[in-house]
Each structure stands twice: as C-alpha cells, then as structure tokens.
Amino acid sequence: MAGQPALLACDWGTTNLRAWTLDAEGRIVEHREFDLGVSKLKPGEAAERFRSEVQPAFGAQELPAILCGMVGSNLGWIVAPYADCPVGVEELAACMVPVEASGGWARIIPGVRGEGIAGASDVMRGEETQLMGWLHANPDRCEGRHVICHPGTHAKWMVVEDGQLTRFVTAMTGELFAVLGKHSVLKSDAPPTDEDAFDEGLAAAGDGDALSARLFTVRSRVVGQGKPAETTSSYLSGLLIGSEVAGAPRLLGLPGDEPVALLGDERLCAFYSRALDRRGVAHQFYDGEEAAIAGLFALYRMGADR
C-alpha cells in the first residue's frame, strides 16, 4: 500500500502529459493524464500550466517535481541540453536542469545524444528515463551487454554495456506508417488487425534492404493480385516493422540474433514480438510505464542527494 505523496513525477511528451504522485518508496499514490502535449502549447505556456493546473490537480504545490520527455526540448518548458553517450543514471542525474515550480525543487531530465548514421547525430527524449528505470529495477541488468527496443512513433534500438547506454539508433517506423497510410497511394482506413496480412508483410520485408522498392508491394498485391484492400494497413505494418527489426541491429553493429528486451506499450510491443519470433530472436516484454516511473524516481533520488 502506498504511503503519503512525496514526489510529483511527470512524463511530458509531444501529445500528452502523464503524471503521478509517488510515495517515499516510489510507489504510485495517484495518476492523472492531461491534454497538454507540448506541441499544443505556446512558448512559455508549459511552466504556467504546470503551476496552475498540474500541481493543483494533485494538491502537490509543496512537493518536489521531476519531469522527462519533450518538455525539455525547444517546444517545451526549457531546453535541457542533451547528455552524450555513453551515459548512465549518474551522468543523467548530473545533467538535470532546475526549473521554478511551486514546490521548490524541480528538475527536467535531459535527453541523450549519440553518434548516428552517416556521421549525423541521433537523439532521444523520454526513452532514456524508461531505460534507466529498466536498469534500476534489476541490478543484474547493469552487467554485460543488453539490446533494448523501444517501439513507438520514433522507435529506439539501444545498446547498454555495464549499465551505460553506449549507442542507439532511431527508426521512424510509426511515423512512416501514419504518413503512408493517410497521405500516399498506400492509404487505407482499415485498422491493422489482420494477422495473416501482417505476417505477409513481415515476409516481404526480407532483410530490411530496398525498403522503397518493397513498399510498392503494398499497392501491387491489391491491384495486381486481387488481395483485399482492407488488408493493406496490416500488410504495411508488417512490412515496416519487419524491415526495422531486420535492419536496426545491423546499424548498431550487432549480429541480429542477440536477445532483445521490448520496453514500451504492450499492444505495440506485441507486433514487434511477432516480428522477432519470425526471425528466431529471443525477447521479453517489459512495461514502459512502470519503467518510466522507476526511472523518474531513481533520478529524483540521485539528483536530490547532490
């Protein structure tokens, strides 16, 4: 049973804000969601709405607060400069940015920057907090090498070595699915619920190469083979996820057969589980919300001690 509220913890993203009050042991006291995604706010509005709406909703005006996600970007409250790989919980805690809230102690967790593809940087905001929560939940995970996949609009594939995030790569799979399904010749209003068509898309993904050519099969299977048009979105989903699962590990210099921790939303992770099963890759699901809460609390504890 949870005790008295000791901390206000927030995961503040582009489309919404999830917030919890936690007790002194990190257990949930209360949970609320707010339609306050930073993409919907004007410059400077995040700070005002946090103090006038979020803190009062919990009666948390006197509690310390910790926040992660896009609230630390140029769309949010204040820019929290990226921490560079390799990075662990101590380095992230040291880089947190103080902000002014009603309760006094308040910090925004920075995102992480790493070396990306073809000399470009890769970046994340929010996923690093879930990753640190996943690590903090089991000390054994801070030993050796682990591969973590965080599905989403911009999916992250991360390599952790001895408790440090050493490298990662982003795949815009979720955004591609949304854009192609609404604004291209591959558009479809049907939900991606046909498992056979999804598996057909996984097979069509091959080893993840020549994606632009493989994408045209989404259309040609319908107009050239008479496949049901309502299976289009399921096939497209399988093709995109299958391509990502096949190609992302290679971009990280991995052999592609190492076990994968799927960290995130259970429904979305289930699609990735199906793709990994097809490739014979061992994997296990971990709840992203639980990891986010654990990460926020761990970083608060470490930051408050500094």
The domain segmentation of the chain, as residue ranges, is 1-111, 126-292
Say if 1-111 and 126-292 have the same CATH topology: yes
- The domain 126-292 is placed in CATH, from the list 3.40.50.2300, 3.30.420.310, 3.30.2350.10, 1.20.120.420, at 3.30.420.310
pLDDT number for residue 306 = 65
pLDDT tens for the chain, 306 residues long, are 889 999 999 999 999 999 999 999 999 999 999 999 999 999 999 999 999 999 999 999 999 999 999 999 999 999 999 999 999 999 999 999 999 988 889 999 999 999 999 899 999 999 999 999 999 999 999 999 999 999 999 999 999 999 999 999 999 999 999 999 999 999 999 999 999 999 999 999 999 999 999 999 999 999 999 999 999 999 999 999 999 999 999 999 999 899 999 999 999 999 999 999 999 999 999 999 999 999 999 999 998 776
Spatial strand order in the sheet of 65-68:
28-34, 17-22, 7-12, 65-68, 106-108, 97-98
What pTM value is reported for the model?
A: 0.95
CA distance 51 to 56: 7
Tokens of 155: 């999916």
Q: How far is CA 227 from CA 68, 199, 224, in A?
A: 44, 14, 8
How long is the chain? 306
Angle (CA) 12 31 109, round 5°: 30
Domain range 1-111, its CATH number among 3.40.190.80, 3.30.420.300, 3.40.640.10, 2.60.40.10: 3.30.420.300
DSSP code of 285?
E
Question: Nearest 5°: phi and psi at 13?
Answer: -105, -165
